[in-house]
Amino acid sequence: MKFIVSSGALLKQLQVLGGLISANTNIAIIENFLFDVQENKLSISSSDLETTMRSSIAINSEDSGKVALPAKMLLETLKSLPEQPVTFVVNGDKSGVEISSDYGKYSIGCFDGEDFPELPEIEEPGKLNLPADKLLTAIQKTVFATGNDEMRLIMTGVFAQFTPEHVTFVATDAHKLVRYRVLDVQSDGTAELILPKKPLNLLKGILASADTDVTVYYSEKNVRFEFDEVVLVCRLIDGKYPNYEAVIPTNNPSNLIIDRASFLSSVRRVSIFSNKSTNQVRLKITGTEIHISAEDLDFANKAAERLNCNFEGEDITIGFNAKFLMEMIANLESKDIRMELSAPNRAGLLFPTDGMEDNEELLMLVMPVMVSQA
């Protein structure tokens, strides 16, 4: 089997697919890329057994066949080559391949492609079409808020709700929560999926260059994303997601509007002086000003800043973990942000004031911490 392909185009595909490949595995075949040649088309797959991903590029070939090539060696070889056509020749028993470039020839061992995990089929799936930019936004706005505790596996993923009214994506680690909703995309039925974040991060890396709809097929165990020449199938996280709506306060009489960049910079500076175990910053909001302060009594460190703002409601003092608050502010991406508050012991809600389309809703929630006394 022989084919010719652009080294740069091949490297670009492999770098994306390589995000699935783990060096810590006892299964040799999944340390490889599967190359499936069908005349002038090369389909490339990678897998970690939980997720399998495939993409395709054009090649020059009259042959067909499958072969599995070692991922690490192939990536390192292509990275060292400038853009040029490279020729792959697979020997008859598929035990080795010779790669020819303008600089010379390189021979590497390989496996029979028939042993590579196949792309799982989803029987009688539900189906949803979602614009690529909306799915990208959903991932960008939620995946950072997922948890990392493997003992609470369901909270390490993004919760997706498909209904005839809207599509909603939610992530939380019990300290912070994000809900992103698309109102002009509907599903024929109702479905609830918990999507693992590893494949979502892979999708995030390639959706930015996509200008099409993503077709989502789903069942109780698996989900499949298809767009352009990309197919990704992953196993869903099994379990029931917590009732996130119950923690979102609905009666918030205090409303703050403030410049996002100034607020973020101020919290970042002041947090340097906070206690390293709590990372607490205190917000004291009165009239048209917000006072941001932090202190570490153990080391006599203290900082305070003051910003102008628009505020409606009773004066309030509330504490937050600076790390979580900064993550929220940094991911809102609007000129001003709106913050809704009700009491020092209840969650604060953050919303962008601009940058969102009419058919989008974004809510971020951060839990308070007990305000230490000065």
**pLDDT value of position 281:** 97
Rounded CA gap, 340 and 56, in Å? 47
**pLDDT value of position 374:** 47
- What is the residue-averaged pLDDT of the chain? 95
Q: The pTM is what?
A: 0.93
* Of 144, 139, 145, the residue nearest 210 (C-alpha): 139
**In the chain, % of residues over pLDDT 70:** 99
Interval 200-206 mean pLDDT: 93
Express each pLDDT in 318-374 by its tens digit.
999 999 999 999 999 999 999 999 999 999 999 999 989 899 999 999 999 987 654
Domain positions in the chain are 2-115, 126-166+187-245, 248-369
Q: What is the CATH number of domain 126-166+187-245?
A: 3.10.150.10
Domain 2-115 shares a fold with domain 126-166+187-245: yes
How are beta strands 230-235 and 51-58 bridged, if at all? antiparallel
Inform me whether the pLDDT recorded for 307 exceeds 60.
yes
- Vertex 316, ends 337 and 327: CA angle to 5°? 35
Domain 248-369: which topology?
Answer: DNA Polymerase III; Chain A, domain 2 (3.10.150)
Q: What is the CATH number of domain 2-115?
A: 3.10.150.10
E strands along 237-371, which residues?
254-259, 280-286, 289-296, 301-308, 310-312, 316-321, 336-341, 348-352, 360-366, 368-369
Inform me whether the pLDDT recorded for 49 exceeds 70.
yes
Rounded CA gap, 66 and 71, in Å? 15
Two tokens, residue 367: 């839990």
Q: How many Cα atoms are found within 13 Å in the side-chain-facing hemisphere of 70?
A: 15
Express each pLDDT in 87-135 by its tens digit.
999 998 888 999 999 999 999 999 999 999 999 899 899 999 999 999 9
Inform me whether the pLDDT recorded for 187 exceeds 90.
no
Split at pLDDT 50, 70, 90, the class of 246 is very high
Give the ranges where the chain is alpha helix by DSSP (H): 7-17, 71-79, 132-142, 197-207, 260-271, 322-330
